[in-house]
Amino acid sequence: MDFVSKSVKKIDGMDIATGKPLYTDDLCHNPLVIKILRSPHAFGKIINIDTKKAKTLPGVECIFTHEDVPKERFTLAGQSYPEPSPYDRLILDEYVRYVGDEVAIVAAVDEKTALRAMKLIKVDYEVFEPVIDFEEAHTHGSTIHPEDDLKVNFPIGTDTDNNIAASYEVYTGNVEEELEKSEVIIEKSYYTQAQAHGMMETYRAYSYMDHNNRLTIVSSTQIPFHVRRIVAKALQIPQSKIRVIKPRIGGGFGGKQTASVEIFPALVTLKTGKAAKIVYDRKETFSCSTARHPMKMTVKIGADTDGTINVIDIKALSDTGAYGEHAWTVFSVAGNKVLPLYNKAKALRYGGNVLYTNKMPSGALRGYGVTQGIFSLESAINELASQLNMDPTILREKNLIREGDSHPLLCGSTDNNPVTLTSCTLHECIRRGKELIKWDEKYPAQVISDSKVRGVGMAITMQGSGIANIDTASALIKLNDNGFYTLLLGSTDMGTGCDTILCQMAAEVLSTDMDKIIVHSADTDISPYDTGSYASSTTYVTGNAVIKAATDLKEQILKVGAEYLYESVENVSFDGIYVKTNSGKEISLDEISQNLALGPQGETLMGKGTFGGDTSPPPFIAGFCEVEVDKETGKIDLIDYVAVVDCGTVINPNLARIQVEGGIVQGIGMAMYENVAHAKNGQMITNTFMQYKIPCRKDIGNITVDFQSSYEPTGPFGAKSIGEVVINTPPPAIAHAVYNAVGVNVRSLPITPEKVLMGILENK
């Protein structure tokens, strides 16, 4: 292949590196500036709000309160309609449900004036006792959502009287019977914390009315088509009156799968007719958007003494914060995309509740629940191996799913039709990872000095490639009048390089140079529909759509070329430059395109392709690490991390490697450093990078990435996803390595020196 599996440079890399104006705030033209007055209380009701004095301040354009906005409830979650997240929000509500919840929208000629106006607004609150601990939420005296118009599109177990946003349970086999028959049982509880996205570009959007009096929103978003629907519902206007444009994005990590900011400038522009923008500062990005769902999982495993795992039973609780964005889906994924790893078990069960609390809402974040589920399950598997006195790599090899196996929880399965795994090199990933980390030489630990010990640890993971039977993407590719192409996409490149790899795929099919393909994404007026860049879908779902579109166009070029050459289409071929016959006649693509463009017989050739999979083939990773622990202080140094990846065919090795390295570092952050923390009154105390630590280069040691490719028959050129799976292994692998070094099982993230030292002291 000429382009696929080649380390092609990113097509927008130089523009980004040289600072060209590509991002949302670069594109604004003298807009009104919006600031949000926010609640100082975790839970309360607005009794009175006085904006008269603020409105008289010169330069203030408008101020909106809950009395001025539509009363239609909606969700900010960017999901396909009908969304599984509850409609539990208003644009502005008389209730405030977390510190930072929106109270008033202020629009002024500049930021300084808007900030001055906010200080002149007087608000009287009736303050209620907040619900902060999600483990106590269902029995707490406060009801966070007392309204009677909260709506769900289908039953997800919502019980607002008990602060339950959603419930879920899935099982196979007879759990109790298999537990009773098992020779060894372990049962442990694990806690994962809220994690912030930490993307470089904060949340922002810009809006204006175009010359046809349509609302145009320019936004740093992963979900332009969902934003159009969400804004239309919230503002009660037709989607046809809204256009959403996505310029370049400075990161998202799932945060921009929630429409956190677009409604505010849209409302101001609709009310005033003037352009408006909102740019969240870093504190607002930390404390007034979304973070990863904190979870508690109690894992019970029944096994035989030879290492055969008979049953896995997980009871879970999740904290969705003040609103239920992604509540049910993140929770269900935490079990469904984790348990199929151990498909030799005769019984599996996963279930529990997602609770409302008076904290910033939780939402989508890279890993989308699998990160939480993998930490709990893989930590329990490592503890089982220890109890069995068995090498954990051997325990896993004995019980893991393999290519050709079926499992009822694999995405796309139905009641009597479990999906069959058609690509998997997980066992090879483990074998290669052991070689790279020198597992057999180092396991479980090596004494370095009187105070320092090095331990090795490991974990495995899987994810998915899009959402089966829900995600869909379309692509269009047009032949222009000089023999070059325009590829129209609705997907979002968040900096990952997906525009580049999709261009590689189109170039491969059309046998043309990549610089002859213009990539245009995403503009809801122009681009074909795409659910958006989330759920590890772009390479797999949009990639398949691109191949279909390019193949369609190639067939049209062959047909037209054959007509010009007076030959049947079966007797011609296309090499990217010429359509040729077997007898030597030829016509160039340039000539074909110009002939098509001119005269009364002109025609535009447009290839189209749409893909929505009925399966979600999982990528796999085996992660290994070595840590050095100081027994006197509990300090942990990460020495080495090895990730061996099966993502099917690697479309662009350089970009894939960067994805893996970035995800591993983000996983290391969750394992060792990051923790969104709140005070007892609900105030977030980690709302700047001074308090919220993410790992820097000196914190992460050496990272080694290797690929054990497979060929996924349903994937584009055999590819699967890679975006999310890469974050999952560091928390359980590092916890395992710490245990092997000093005998301390840290079951609550992050794994801090304090927790390790306390464990060492308790063991003495």
- DSSP states of 258-302 as a string? B--STHHHHHHHHHHSS-EEEE--HHHHHHSS-EEPPEEEEEEEE
Domain with CATH 3.90.1170.50 in the chain: 17-128+203-279
Rounded Cα–Cα distance for residues 204 and 248 (Å): 12
Beta bridge partners of 458: 624
Rounding to the nearest 10 degrees, give the CA dihedral for residues 288, 292, 293, 299: -160
Task: Give the pLDDT of residue 348.
Answer: 97
Rounded Cα–Cα distance for residues 638 and 271 (Å): 54
Rounded Cα–Cα distance for residues 361 and 356 (Å): 9
Dihedral sign for Cα 175, 176, 180, 181, please.
Answer: negative
Beta bridge partners of 744: none
Q: What is the topology classification, in CATH, of domain 17-128+203-279?
A: Aldehyde Oxidoreductase; domain 3 (3.90.1170)
The distance of Cα 523 from the centroid of its chain, to the nearest Å, equals 21
Tell me the Cα Rg of the chain: 27
Beta bridge partners of 48: 124
Rounded Cα–Cα distance for residues 206 and 682 (Å): 31
Which DSSP letter does residue 404 get? Answer: T
Amino acid type, 204:
R
Contact 153, 84 (CB under 8 A): yes
The DSSP result for 61-112, as a single string, is: EEEE-TTSS----B--B--PSSPSS-B-B-SS-SEE-STT-EEEEEEESSHH
472-611 CATH? 3.30.365.10
Count of other CB atoms within 10 angstroms of residue 167: 17
291-467+615-763 CATH? 3.30.365.10
Rounded Cα–Cα distance for residues 413 and 404 (Å): 15
Count of other CB atoms within 10 angstroms of residue 667: 31
For the record, the structure tokens of 123 come out as 């608000």
Contact 608, 476 (CB under 8 A): yes
Amino acid type, 754:
E
**DSSP alpha helices (H): ranges in 673-722?**
none
Rounding to the nearest 10 degrees, give the CA dihedral for residues 245, 247, 250, 254: 30
Largest CA distance in the chain: 90
Which DSSP letter does residue 248 get? Answer: B
Closest to 336 measured CA to CA, from 426, 403, 401, 411: 411
Rounded Cα–Cα distance for residues 492 and 721 (Å): 15
CA distances from 22 to 32, 264, 281 (A): 20, 22, 19
Dihedral sign for Cα 372, 375, 378, 380, please.
Answer: negative
Task: Give the pLDDT of residue 601.
Answer: 73
Task: Give the pLDDT of residue 399.
Answer: 98
Contact 83, 229 (CB under 8 A): no
Closest to 557 measured CA to CA, from 513, 617, 607: 607
Per 3-state DSSP, the chain is made up of helix, strand and coil in percentages (nearest 5) of 30, 25, 45
Q: What is the 3-state secondary structure (H, E, C) of 153-197?
A: CCCCCCEHHHCEEEEEEEEECCHHHHHHHCCEEEEEEEEECCCCC
Rounded Cα–Cα distance for residues 666 and 628 (Å): 20
Domain with CATH 3.30.365.10 in the chain: 291-467+615-763, 472-611
Dihedral sign for Cα 13, 19, 21, 22, please.
Answer: positive
Rounded Cα–Cα distance for residues 120 and 594 (Å): 64
Pairing of the two strands 164-172 and 60-64? unpaired
Closest to 102 measured CA to CA, from 214, 234, 207: 234
What is the SS3 assignment for 115?
Answer: helix
> Which pTM was predicted?
0.97
Model confidence pLDDT, tens digit, residues 731-762: 999 999 999 999 999 999 999 999 999 999 99
**Which secondary structure element, helix H or strand E, spans residue 760, and what is its range?**
helix 753-763
For the record, the structure tokens of 723 come out as 């975006």
Model confidence pLDDT, tens digit, residues 57-96: 999 999 999 999 999 999 999 999 999 999 999 999 999 9
437: left (phi over 0), alpha (psi -120 to 50) or beta: alpha
The stretches in the chain having pLDDT less than 70 are none
